Amino acid sequence: MILRFATVRDAEALAAIYAPIVESTMISFEVLAPDVDEMRARIGTHPANKPWIVAESDGTVAGYAYASSFRGRVAYRFSAEVTVYVAEHARRGGVGRTLYRALLQLLARQGYRRAFAGIALPNDASVALHRAVGFTETGVTHAAGFKFNTWHDVAFYECALGPLDIPAHDPTAVDELPMSVVKAAFAIDRA
């Protein structure tokens, strides 16, 4: 397995991983799966300081993870929301854990102080994965989502990424990170 940043050339693979999650589960609160063009646009236009990464196994993308804005107001800029999706055939093989470890390490080195994740319940696998990589639950919002004629609670999780001192700078773009930092984050032997 290798880890790397996602590119627009991964759009087809990422759309294929994500589509069944949108179409058949309440894990994602989207109801229309993005097609390849839409996925290409999402990958191609994400902010420079919000990494999208993929795990590739035998030349095939097995999963992806990315950061997005937690909330829009300026004071939230040291927080990132994270999410991860692993192809059905590749689950329980360490892909999700490996992607998250790398993503959280990148975010920490960029200068983020907190990562947050919202998990539509029930989702035992996601809850277990988030706990396994260091997230703790902060609370549950009730009936926050309605999909497939059912109301769903959302559990929120947080993970500390850095000290709560006075930041010297805003979170940097990933292409401003030294190559050694990226290499260390993408090193698989930590998994």
Q: Does 144 bind ligand COA (CB under 6 A)?
A: no
CB of 23 to ligand COA, least distance (A): 13
Which residues have C-beta within 8 Å of that of residue 159, sequence separation ≥ 6? Answer: 104, 114, 115, 116, 117, 130, 133, 134, 135, 136
Query: Which x/- pattern over 56-75 shows residues binding ligand COA (rule: CB under 6 A)?
Result: --------------------
Closest CA to 4 of 13, 118, 123, 119: 13
Select the residue interacting with ligand COA from 1, 19, 21, 160 (CB under 6 A): 21
Instruction: State which residue, 92 or 169, has the beta carbon closest to ligand COA.
Output: 92
Only one residue has tokens 């000290």, namely: 163
CB of 163 to ligand COA, least distance (A): 27
- Give the helix/strand (H/E) hosting 20: helix 11-24
Cβ contact 98:191 at 8 Å: yes
Which residues have C-beta within 8 Å of that of residue 106, sequence separation ≥ 6? Answer: 51, 53, 174, 177, 181, 182, 185
Instruction: State which residue, 34 or 111, has the beta carbon closest to ligand COA.
Output: 34
Q: Which residues pair with 147 in a beta bridge?
A: 150
With contacts defined by CB under 6 A, name the span among 80-88, 107-115, 143-151, 168-176 that binds ligand COA.
Answer: 80-88
Select the residue interacting with ligand COA from 40, 51, 54, 96 (CB under 6 A): 96
The binding site for ligand COA (CB under 6 A) comprises 21, 27, 83-86, 91-97, 117, 119, 123-126, 128-129, 132
